[in-house]
C-alpha cells in the first residue's frame, strides 16, 4: 500500500506515521506537510531515513503539487489542519484556507487519481458543546460548531461527506476527542502545563477551570484510525473517545500532584471567548463494528507523557524558543 499522510509533521500525524510503519513495515508513506509553526520534522527523526518513507514540504492547497503526488497513491489520510482554538479566535484566515480549501483540493485530487480510501481526521468539537448532564456525542449528533476552528473542521467534514454522496468517493471520517501524548505542541493544555512547571512558571487555567474534556492517548486514537482505514465502511463516520472526562482544574491538579507541585502554581486567567463547556464521546459504534476501544489508562498515560516531556527538554525548549524551525529551514527553505 502507498499512503499519503498530510500534516504528518504535526502531533497526531507524526505519531500516526510511526505507528503505521511499525504495524505495516512494507507500506510506503509519503508525508506532505507545509511545516507551519506546528510542523516539526524532529518529531520523525527516528523514521526519516527509512527507504519507504518520503517527506515532501508542501501545501495541501497547492493543486498542481497535490495532483502530482496523488498519482499511484492508494490511501490518503488527512491530518493537515490549523488545530488550535485560541489561534482561530485571533484570526480564522489560515483555518478556512487549510481546513476547508485544503481539504477540497485533496478531495479533487483523490477523485482524479481514483484513490481507494480517503480518511479524514476530524474532531468532536464540530458537534458544539454539551451541558454537564447531556448524553455524550455520537455519530448522529447534529453539527453545532462554536469556534472558527470547529466551524472550519465542520465545513471540511461536510465537504468530505458530500464527495461520497455526489461522486461515490470512498471516504471515511473520524471525530475524536482531546488527544494527549508525546510530541504535542506546547500550546495545548497538557504539554503547556507540564513544560511551564518544568520551566518554573505557573499553569494558566481559563475561567474557573470547570470546562470538561474527554482525554484520549494519541496512540489509542491512531489505532482507531488504522482500524477505520482497514475495516471501516465506506461513507461512514466513527466517533473515537477516551472515556476520560475531567475538568481542566482536575487535569491541572493531577499534573501538579505527579510533578510534586502545590496548587499555588495555578493561575486562574481570563476565560476563552465562547469556551465550550464539555466534550464527551460515545464510541460504542467503533467498539461494536471495529472492535476498537481506548486501552491506555489516563493516569498511566498522563504520567508517561509527563515523563516524556521531562526527558526530552531539548525538543520542547527549542519549540518554546522558536529555534526548532531552523532544523529544516536550511534543507527545505
Ligand atoms: P498539529 O497542529 O499538531 O499539526 C498539524 C500539521 O498540519 C502540522 O504539521 C502543520 O505543519 C500541518 N499543516 C498545516 N497547514 C498545512 C497545509 N496547508 N498544508 C500541509 N500541511 C499543513 O495538529 P494535531 O493536533 O496533530 O491535529 C491533527 C488533526 O487531528 C487535525 O486535523 C485536527 O483537527 C485533528 N484532531 C486533533 C485533536 C487534538 O486533540 N489535537 C483531536 C481531534 C482531532
Ligand atoms: O492555557 C490554557 N488554559 C486552559 O485552561 C489552554 C491552552 C487551555 N485551557 C483549557 C481550554 C480547554 O477547555 O483547556 C482545555 C483544552 O484546551 P486546548 O488544549 O486548547 O484544547 P481544546 O480547545 O479542547 O481543543 C483540542 O481538542 C480538540 C485540540 O486543540 C483540537 O485540535 C481538537 O480538535
The CATH number that applies at residue 115 is 3.40.50.720
Number of domains in the chain: 1
45 within some domain: yes
CB of 121 closer than 6 A to ligand 1?
yes
What pLDDT, in 10s, does the model give residues 65-77? Answer: 999 999 999 999 9
Report which bound ligand comes closest to the CA of 278: 2
| pLDDT at site 330 | 60
Gap from CA of 235 to ligand 2 centroid (Å) = 29
What pLDDT, in 10s, does the model give residues 189-244? Answer: 999 999 999 999 999 999 999 999 999 999 999 999 999 999 999 999 999 999 99
Report which bound ligand comes closest to the CA of 127: 2
CB of 224 closer than 6 A to ligand 1?
no
Separation between Cα atoms, residue 74 and residue 31, nearest integer Å: 14
Give the dihedral sign, CA 305/311/79/229: negative
- Which residue, judged by its Cα, is nearest atom 10 of ligand 1? 39
191 within some domain: no
Answer whether 0.95 is exceeded by the pTM.
yes
Report which bound ligand comes closest to the CA of 175: 1
CB of 175 closer than 6 A to ligand 2?
no
Separation between Cα atoms, residue 233 and residue 231, nearest integer Å: 6
Q: What is the span of the domain harbouring residue 51?
A: 2-180+216-245+275-298
Residue carrying the nine cell digits 465545513: 155
| pLDDT at site 35 | 97
How large is the angle between the packed helices 103-112 and 148-167, nearest 10 degrees? 20
| pLDDT at site 90 | 97
CB of 153 closer than 6 A to ligand 1?
yes
| pLDDT at site 325 | 72
What pLDDT, in 10s, does the model give residues 77-103? Answer: 999 999 999 999 999 999 999 999 999
211 within some domain: no
204 within some domain: no
Residue carrying the nine cell digits 509533521: 9
Mean pLDDT of 133-143: 98
- Which residue, judged by its Cα, is nearest atom 6 of ligand 2? 189
151 within some domain: yes
Start-end of H helices in the chain = 11-23, 63-70, 85-90, 93-95, 103-112, 148-167, 189-198, 218-231, 248-258, 284-290, 298-311, 313-321, 326-332
Q: Point out the residues that are catalytic.
A: 124-125, 149
CB of 176 closer than 6 A to ligand 1?
yes
According to DSSP, the β-strands at 171-176 and 237-240 are parallel
- Cβ contacts of 270 within 8 Å, gap of 6 or more: 206, 207
327 within some domain: no
pLDDT higher than threshold 90 for residue 51: yes
305 within some domain: no
Give the dihedral sign, CA 171/177/178/183: negative
198 within some domain: no
Amino acid at each position: 500500500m502507498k499512503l499519503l499522510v498530510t500534516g504528518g509533521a504535526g502531533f497526531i500525524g507524526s505519531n500516526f506515521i510511526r505507528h503505521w510503519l511499525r504495524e505495516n513495515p512494507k507500506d510506503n508513506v509519503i508525508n506532505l506537510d507545509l511545516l507551519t509553526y506546528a510542523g516539526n520534522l524532529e518529531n520523525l527523526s527516528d523514521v526519516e531515513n527509512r527507504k519507504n518513507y518520503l517527506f515532501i514540504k508542501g501545501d495541501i492547497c497547492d493543486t498542481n503539487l497535490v495532483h502530482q503526488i496523488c498519482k499511484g497513491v492508494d490511501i490518503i489520510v488527512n491530518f493537515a489542519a490549523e488545530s488550535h482554538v485560541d489561534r482561530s479566535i485571533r484570526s480564522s484566515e489560515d483555518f478556512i484556507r487549510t481546513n476547508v480549501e485544503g481539504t477540497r483540493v485533496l478531495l479533487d485530487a483523490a477523485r482524479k487519481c481514483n484513490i481507494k480510501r480517503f480518511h479524514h481526521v476530524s474532531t468532536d468539537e464540530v458537534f458544539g458543546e454539551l451541558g454537564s448532564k447531556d448524553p455524550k456525542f455520537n455519530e448522529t449528533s447534529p453539527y453545532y460548531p462554536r469556534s472558527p476552528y470547529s466551524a472550519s473542521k465542520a465545513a471540511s467534514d461536510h465537504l468530505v461527506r458530500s464527495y461520497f454522496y455526489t461522486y461515490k468517493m470512498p471516504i471515511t471520517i473520524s471525530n475524536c476527542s482531546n488527544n494527549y501524548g508525546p510530541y504535542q505542541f506546547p500550546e495545548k493544555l497538557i504539554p503547556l502545563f507540564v513544560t511551564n512547571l518544568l520551566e518554573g512558571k505557573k499553569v494558566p487555567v481559563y475561567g474557573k477551570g470547570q470546562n470538561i474534556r474527554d482525554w484520549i492517548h494519541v496512540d489509542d486514537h491512531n489505532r482507531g484510525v488504522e482500524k477505520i482505514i482497514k475495516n471501516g465502511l465506506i461513507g461512514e463516520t466513527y466517533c473515537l473517545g477516551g472515556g476520560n472526562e475531567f475538568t481542566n482544574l482536575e487535569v491541572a491538579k493531577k499534573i501538579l500532584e505527579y510533578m510534586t507541585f502545590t496548587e499555588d502554581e495555578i493561575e486562574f486567567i481570563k476565560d476563552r471567548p465562547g469556551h465550550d463547556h464539555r466534550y464527551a464521546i460515545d464510541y460504542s459504534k467503533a467498539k461494536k463494528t471495529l472492535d476498537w476501544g481506548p486501552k491506555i489508562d489516563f493516569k498511566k498515560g498522563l504520567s508517561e507523557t509527563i515523563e516524556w516531556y521531562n526527558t526530552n527538554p531539548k525538543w520542547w525548549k527549542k519549540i518554546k524558543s522558536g529555534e526548532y524551525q531552523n532544523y529544516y529551514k536550511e534543507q527545505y527553505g
